[in-house]
């Protein structure tokens, strides 16, 4: 029974790779990397590792900027601005002293905003826990809006269909699907804030980012996952 539950959880996670809480992921992409960069001066990698990681980091930034339909420079500035906003909020909340905050913001300003998340550790990090926590509810909300069960939606996503293709087959218009996805993101953000997993400040920043970059949601709707056996 334990293995069955585990397999079911993995199935949901794998099938919804395109849906794994866009809102939370957006926060990680824009804020977490910059926060890590600002506090990692004492953890300098070896030249060999740095050289190897730099290529992937560059590709990561280029791919992300392309997906958002913005320039790499704009992406870097967005990261730096978002990270600075979070630092200010931490000071306001009493989580960080002003002198320490000033030093961190100086490092952010001097940096290039190119920090990348550790891909190899992503499955073990806090973001993975958030994905696991909020994915089932998000999947249920999406499936209800598409007039099907969570199991049916999971199966179709695993078969390689996009949300847009599924919605078309279910006679759900593109505009209604977009509203459904946006409402799902809003619900996830609200629940994450209420549970203390996300600050309201960050949730608002994510909402603003998605509003300013509607193509992010559109790409999510048209994303096709690899077929799984």
C-alpha 21: how far from chain center: 6
Of these ranges, 13-17, 144-148, 192-196, the one predicted with the greatest mean pLDDT is 144-148
> pLDDT, tens digit, for every residue of 44-65?
445 555 445 567 777 877 887 7
DSSP 8-state assignment for residue 122: G
Q: What is the Cβ-side half-sphere exposure of residue 191, based on CA atoms within 13 angstroms? A: 17
Q: What is the pLDDT of residue 16?
A: 42
Is the predicted pLDDT of residue 21 greater than 60, yes or no? no
Of these ranges, 42-46, 65-69, 127-131, the one predicted with the greatest mean pLDDT is 65-69
What is the per-residue burial (b if ≥16 Cβ within 10 Å, else e) of 62-86? eebbebbebebeebbebbbebbbeb
Of these ranges, 13-22, 110-119, 184-193, the one predicted with the greatest mean pLDDT is 184-193
C-alpha 26: how far from chain center: 3
Q: What is the pLDDT of residue 227?
A: 54
Q: What percent of the chain lies above the pLDDT cut of 90?
A: 12
Q: How far apart are CA 86 and CA 105, in angstroms?
A: 10
CA distances from 216 to 32, 46, 68, 93 (A): 18, 35, 6, 30
Is the predicted pLDDT of residue 101 greater than 90, yes or no? no
Assign 113 a pLDDT band (cuts: 50, 70, 90). Answer: low
12 membership: H or E segment, kind and range: helix 2-15
Burial group, residue 155, by CB count within 10 angstroms (0-12, 13-18, 19+): middle
Average pLDDT of the chain to the nearest whole number: 72
Q: What is the pLDDT of residue 106?
A: 85
Of these ranges, 128-132, 148-152, 203-207, the one predicted with the greatest mean pLDDT is 148-152
Q: How far apart are CA 209 and CA 182, in angstroms?
A: 12
DSSP 8-state assignment for residue 70: S
Is the predicted pLDDT of residue 225 greater than 80, yes or no? no
Q: How far apart are CA 208 and CA 70, in angstroms?
A: 15
> pLDDT, tens digit, for every residue of 134-188?
888 888 899 999 999 988 988 888 888 888 999 999 999 999 999 998 898 888 8
Q: How far apart are CA 127 and CA 183, in angstroms?
A: 21
pTM: 0.55
- Count of CB atoms situated within 10 Å of the CB of 212: 11
Chain length of the chain: 229
Residue 94 tokens read as 């009493």
């Amino acid at each position: 029974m334990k293995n069955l539950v585990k397999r079911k959880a993995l199935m949901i996670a794998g099938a919804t790779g395109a849906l794994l809480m866009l809102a939370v992921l957006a926060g990680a992409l824009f804020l977490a990397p910059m926060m890590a960069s600002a506090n990692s001066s004492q953890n300098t990698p070896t030249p060999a590792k740095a050289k190897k990681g730099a290529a992937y980091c560059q590709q990561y930034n280029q791919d992300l900027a392309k997906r958002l339909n913005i320039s790499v420079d704009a992406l870097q500035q967005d990261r730096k601005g978002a990270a600075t906003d979070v630092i200010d909020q931490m000071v306001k909340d009493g989580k960080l002293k002003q002198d320490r905050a000033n030093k961190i913001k100086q490092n952010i300003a001097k940096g290039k905003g190119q920090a990348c998340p550790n891909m190899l550790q992503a499955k073990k990090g806090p973001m993975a826990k958030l994905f696991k926590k909020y994915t089932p509810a998000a999947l249920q909300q999406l499936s209800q809006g598409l007039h099907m069960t969570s199991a049916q939606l999971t199966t179709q996503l695993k078969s390689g269909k996009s949300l847009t293709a599924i919605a078309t087959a279910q006679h759900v218009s593109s505009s209604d699907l977009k509203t459904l996805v946006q409402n799902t993101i809003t619900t996830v953000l609200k629940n994450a804030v209420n549970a203390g997993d996300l600050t309201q400040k960050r949730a608002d920043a994510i909402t603003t980012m998605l509003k300013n970059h509607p193509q992010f949601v559109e790409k999510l709707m048209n994303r096709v996952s690899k077929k799984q056996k």
